[in-house]
Structure 1
Amino acid sequence: MASELLFVPFKKGSDVDIIKPLRNLINSTYNTGDQHEDYTDALNDLSRLRTNAIWKVFEKTSLEVIYNYYDQLASLEAKIPPQEVQIPFKWKDAFDKGSLFGGRMSLTISSLAYERMCILFNIGAMQSLIASQQTVETEESLKQAAKLFQQAAGVFAYLKANIMMAVHQETTPDLNPDTLDALAKLMLAQAQEVIAYKCIRDEMKESMVAKVCAHCEELYTDALRAMNKEQLKPLWDRDWLQVMASKQAAFRGLTQLYQSQVCHANKAVGEEIARLQLAEEQLRQATQRAPAGLLADQLARAARLLAAARKDNDFIYHERVPEPGALEPVARAAIAKPLEPPPRWGAARDLFAALVPLAVHQALQAAGARRADLVALEINKLRDATQLLNSILASLSLPACLEAADGALPDSIRARAAAVRDAGGLPELTRLMAELPELLQRNRDILDEAERMLREEAEADAALRTQFGPRWTRTESAKLTEAFRANADKYRQIIDNAVRADNIVQQKFAQHRDNIALLGGSEGDICAGVPDAADAPRPASGAAGDAAVRSLRALMQDVEALKAERDSIEAELKDTTVDLREQFLAALHADGAVDEPALSAGALGAALAPLQRRGAATLARQAELLAAVQAQHAALMAARGGASGRDEALGRLAAAADAFQELTANLNEGIKFYNDLTQLLVAFQNKVSDFCFARKTEKDELLKDLTQEASRGTVRPAPAPPQHHSDVEPPAVRKEAPPRPPPPAAGAPAGAQPGAPAGAPPGPSALPYPQQPQGMPVPYGAGAAYPYYAAPMPALYNPYATLPYPHHARMPAPQPYAAYQYPPPAPGAPYSQPPPAGYNPYPQQ
Structure 2
Amino acid sequence: MFLFKQQQSAAADKNGNDNSVLLAVKFKTTEKAVFCKSLSEYIASSYAEPPEAYRDDLRVLDELREAATAALDVNANVLKRNIRYYGQLSFILSKFPADINVKFTWYNAFDSDSTVTCQDLYFERASVLFNIGAIYSQLACRESRNDKDSLNRAFGYFQNAAGVFSYLQSKVVSECRTQLTTDLSSYMLTTLENLMLCQAQECVWHRSVLSHMKDANVARVATQVAEFYDLVIESGSHGSLSNTIPAYWPDNFKAKKLYFYAEAQYRKAQDCLANSQYGEEVARMQAAQEFCNQTNELVTYDQRWSKHIRAAVVDMTRAQMEQVSNNRTRAERDNDVIYLDPVPSSLSLATISPYKLAQSKVPEIVENPGKFLGEEELGPPLFKGLVPFVIHQAASLYEDRKDQLVSNDLINALDELTADCESALSSLNLPNALEAIKKPIGLPPNILVGADEIRSEGGYLGIKRLLDNAIAANNTAAGLLDTAEDALNKEAHEDLRIKQGASAGSARAKRKQSGELTNTFRSEIAKYRGIVRKAHDSDAVIKGQVDTWSKFFALLGSPREEIERQVPSTTANPITDPHHSQIIQRLQQYLDEVSIMRRERLKSMDKLKRIALEDDVTPALNEEMQRLAAQSSTPILKFELHQFEEVFSQQLDKYTSWRKYIAEEREAQSELLDSIREANQAFIVARSNHPLLQQRDKALSNLETAIKRYREASFNLHDGSRFYASLEGELLKLREGCLDFTMARHMDALELIGVGQGEHPTDLSQAPDQDNQQQQQPTNLVWDPTMPLKYTSPR
Q: TM-score, normalised by structure 2?
A: 0.45
Q: TM-score, normalised by structure 1?
A: 0.43
Greater C-alpha radius of gyration: 2
Q: Whose helix fraction is larger, Structure 1's or Structure 2's?
A: 2
